[in-house]
Amino acid sequence: MKKTPNLTHLKSSGEAHMVDISEKPITSRIAIAVGSISMSVDSLAIINSRRAAKGDVLSIARIAGIIGTKKTSEIIPLCHPLSLSSVSVDLSINEELPGINIAVTAKTTGKTGVEMEALTGVSVAALTIYDMIKAIDKHMVIGDIRLKLKDGGKSGRFEV
């Protein structure tokens, strides 16, 4: 029989709580999350040519992704606030999708990982793109948001 994993954010009584990380060692940590937003060819052309009415979609989405990463503990209830040492948001045009591929890398030196920060950064960047283009394309699809890599801490390296 397969062992049920220990859900660290739940007490044995089932109540949610913030995990106590006070005894964990400080280690270097990194996480990379990816996702995409698909859209019409016309919408992608407008983004690529920087002709969107609301401004430069990719530049604004990049900044929004960084802000989302930094604000993760404010919007995900049981996340610890982290001091991030680096955040990068990479947005690339994907003509085949058609759409935009999003990758966020978050780094810290601390007692807990940065997976949620990277995932939140991808989500916020995608939502910003959606917001800026929704007037011309309501059929956009945000998807495939997932953790690609995490390293550091007790559980070690995870990579897809």
Verify whether residue 144 is a known catalytic residue: no
pTM for the whole structure: 0.89
Active-site residue, from 131, 137, 144, 151: 131
Q: Which residues contact 71 (CB under 8 A, 6 or more apart)?
A: 120
| Torsion angle in degrees (nearest 10) through CA of 73, 75, 79, 82 | -10
| pLDDT confidence of residue 75 | 96
| pLDDT confidence of residue 139 | 96
Q: What is the pLDDT of residues 76-88, one digit of tens each?
A: 999 999 999 999 9
Domains and CATH numbers, the chain: 40-152 (3.30.70.640)
10-residue stretch averages of pLDDT, the chain, 160 residues long: 62 76 90 98 93 90 98 94 96 97 97 95 98 95 98 88
